[in-house]
């Protein structure tokens, strides 16, 4: 037996049907009011009181927003959200609360439920939109991002948030009306995937910019290092971040690529460490060498720096190598640079007064003959007694007499 998989067509609604529904609504309402006029009057009075109370609560929103001096605090965000409460939602909340007391006809109760559902869903979407956008603005302005290109992109962010929030609200309303939203949700999903694939680079950098704002690995004005590059952050944009290099060049890198790297934020340092390698002469007295760490500590502390450690590290080719480590209690590199200069000069003066020699590099070269004997780099001079001694006559030579 064949099965018909074709969906049944939706019933067509004619103008006569709509007119009949409206007529039924008004007839039922009139009969209900004429029969239960006292309950209806009480319900209207109670509903009016509830509406006035909710309107008064809404009026507190602007006052709450003014408590934030910067206009971006959480009190301002919540205040603006309360201020966006619609009058239609307030009326429907009051009607929903008193509808059970008055005992309205089924068609009136159904109408109130439907209108309350629509008002509640879209009001929730409005509140969610204001809270999300307020949170983004609060974080960006409180972290000194207000003057950057990202703030100019708030219009795009506002549009994206509005579309997403109200699209969800529309789907919820249609689902409550009994409409099959499976196909609509599937269509929106496919469309979203297509748009995401087409603009994945832009969205990746956009979300990376938002990650920079909320995760705060750095901010404008920070000195950072990434890979083999370094510089000062000048601007965090919608797609890229601009960094001023130490040689004055402007480096531009996409937000996504920047966050994929290891970033060293030098501005967030609590200190900078400096190491100095000192080569002392082998002829230095061992007892004096034993005092070198304490001497270096005194020198570092005299220059208002933080001594870390100092000591012997290796037997060098021509020197005894000592290492000095000290901290500069500032994040700025210039302070560490100046401190290294002062400490180095102070160490040289102290070593001179203590008689500790920092020798020049010395290299001695020896030349060997093919048989392995050392070849002197100068002619060999005979001793004087060998030069002045009488020479014996050579055998076979004729002797001469004077």
pLDDT > 90 in the chain, percent: 17
242 and 281: one domain? Answer: no
245/265 Cα distance (integer angstroms): 14
Q: Is residue 364 part of a domain?
A: no
58 and 106: one domain? Answer: yes
Q: Is residue 361 part of a domain?
A: no
Contact predicate 95/112, CB 8 Å: yes
287 and 334: one domain? Answer: yes
Q: Is residue 37 part of a domain?
A: yes
Q: Is residue 376 part of a domain?
A: no
114 and 233: one domain? Answer: no
Q: Which among 249, 268, 287 is the end of a domain? A: 268
263 and 286: one domain? Answer: no
Q: What is the pLDDT of residue 270?
A: 86
Q: Is residue 333 part of a domain?
A: yes
* pLDDT of 342 above 90: yes
Query: Of 209, 264, 265, 214, which is closest to residue 237 (Cα–Cα)?
Result: 209
Query: Of 273, 290, 285, which is closest to residue 343 (Cα–Cα)?
Result: 273
102 and 243: one domain? Answer: no
The residue among 121 and 211 whose pLDDT is bigger is 121
**Domains of the chain: total:** 3
Contacts of 235 (CB under 8 A, 6+ apart): 148, 149, 220, 241, 242
Place of tokens 């020049």: 360
Give whichever of 158-162, 173-177, 316-320 has the largest mean pLDDT. 316-320
CATH number, residue 343: 3.30.70.100
211 and 344: one domain? Answer: no
Average pLDDT rounded to a whole number, residues 171-185: 74
Q: Is residue 190 part of a domain?
A: no
112 and 165: one domain? Answer: yes
Mean pLDDT of the chain: 76
Per-residue pLDDT tens digits for 310-326: 999 999 888 899 999 99
Contact predicate 67/45, CB 8 Å: no
Contact predicate 317/282, CB 8 Å: no
Domain of 261, in residue numbers: 206-268
54 and 122: one domain? Answer: yes
Q: Which among 311, 336, 354 is the end of a domain? A: 354
35 and 150: one domain? Answer: yes
Per-residue pLDDT tens digits for 235-258: 887 778 889 988 889 998 988 888
Place of tokens 């005979």: 382
Q: Is residue 9 part of a domain?
A: no
Q: Which among 129, 163, 178 is the end of a domain? A: 178
237 and 105: one domain? Answer: no
pTM passes above 0.85: no
What confidence category does residue 58 fall into, taking pLDDT thresholds of 50, 70 and 90? confident
Q: Is residue 400 part of a domain?
A: no
30 and 174: one domain? Answer: yes
């Amino acid at each position: 037996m064949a099965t018909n998989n074709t969906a049944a067509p939706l019933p067509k609604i004619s103008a006569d049907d709509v007119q009949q529904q409206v007529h039924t609504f008004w007839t039922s309402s009139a009969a209900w009011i004429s029969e239960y006029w006292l309950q209806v009057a009480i319900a209207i009075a109670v509903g009016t009181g509830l509406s006035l109370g909710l309107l008064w609560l809404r009026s507190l929103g602007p006052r709450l927003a003014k408590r934030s001096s910067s206009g971006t605090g959480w009190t301002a965000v919540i205040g603006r959200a309360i201020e966006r409460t619609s009058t239609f939602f307030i009326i429907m909340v009051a009607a929903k609360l008193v509808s059970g007391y008055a005992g309205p006809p089924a068609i009136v109760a159904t109408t109130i439920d439907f209108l309350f559902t629509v008002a509640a869903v879209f009001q929730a979407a409005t509140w969610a939109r204001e809270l999300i956008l307020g949170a983004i603005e609060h974080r960006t302005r409180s972290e000194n991002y207000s003057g950057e290109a990202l703030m100019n992109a708030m219009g795009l962010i506002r549009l994206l948030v509005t579309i997403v929030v109200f699209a969800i609200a529309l789907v919820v309303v249609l689902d409550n009306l009994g409409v099959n939203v499976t196909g609509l949700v599937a269509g929106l999903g496919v469309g979203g995937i297509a748009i995401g694939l087409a603009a994945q680079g832009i969205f990746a950098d956009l979300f990376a910019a938002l990650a920079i704002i909320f995760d705060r690995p750095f901010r404008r004005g920070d000195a950072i290092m990434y890979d083999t590059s370094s510089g000062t952050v000048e601007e965090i944009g919608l797609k890229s971040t601009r960094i001023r290099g130490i040689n004055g060049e402007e480096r531009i890198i996409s937000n996504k690529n920047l966050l994929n790297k290891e970033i060293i934020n030098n501005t967030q340092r609590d200190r900078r460490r400096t190491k100095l390698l000192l080569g002392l002469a082998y002829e230095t007295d061992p007892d004096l060498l034993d005092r070198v760490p304490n001497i270096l500590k005194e020198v570092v502390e005299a220059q208002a720096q933080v001594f870390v450690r100092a000591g012997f590290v290796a037997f060098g080719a021509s020197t005894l190598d000592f290492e000095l480590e000290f901290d500069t209690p500032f994040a700025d590199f210039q302070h560490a640079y100046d401190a290294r200069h002062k400490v180095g000069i102070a160490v040289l003066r102290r070593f001179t007064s203590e008689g500790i020699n920092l020798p020049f590099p010395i290299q001695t070269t020896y030349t060997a003959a093919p048989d392995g004997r050392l070849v002197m780099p100068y002619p060999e001079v005979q001793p004087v007694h060998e030069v002045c001694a009488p020479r014996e006559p050579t055998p076979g030579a004729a002797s001469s007499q004077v």
